[in-house]
Amino acid sequence: MGITTEQAVIPLHRRVKLDAVDKAVIAAVQGGLPLCERPYAAIAQKLGLDEHTVITRLQRLQAQGAIKRFGVVVRHHELGYRANAMVVFDVADERVAQLGRCIGKFEFVTLCYRRPRVLPEWPYNLFCMIHGKDRQAVLTHVQELIERCGLQAVPHAVLFSKRRFKQRGAVYGNVHTRQASGEI
Partner 1 sequence: MTPQLTEYTPLQRALLNNFQQGFPLSARPYAELAEKLGVSEQDVIDTLKGLQDSKTISRVGPVFRVGSIGVSTLAAIAVPPDRLEEVAAIVNEYEAVNHNYEREHAFNLWFVATATDEAELHDILQAIEQRTGLNVMVLPMLEDYHIDLGFELQWA
- For partner 1, the closer CB: 143 or 161: 161
- For partner 1, the closer CB: 109 or 146: 109
**Whole-number minimum distance, CB 78 to partner 1, in Å?**
5
**Whole-number minimum distance, CB 45 to partner 1, in Å?**
13
**Whole-number minimum distance, CB 27 to partner 1, in Å?**
11
Neighbours of 76 (CB within 10 A): 18
State yes or no: cis peptide before 39, omega within 30 of 0: no
Give CA–CA dist 71/111, Å, rounded: 17
**Whole-number minimum distance, CB 144 to partner 1, in Å?**
14
- For partner 1, the closer CB: 62 or 143: 62
CA distances from 90 to 5, 87, 93, 128, 151 (A): 22, 11, 9, 12, 10
State yes or no: cis peptide before 120, omega within 30 of 0: yes
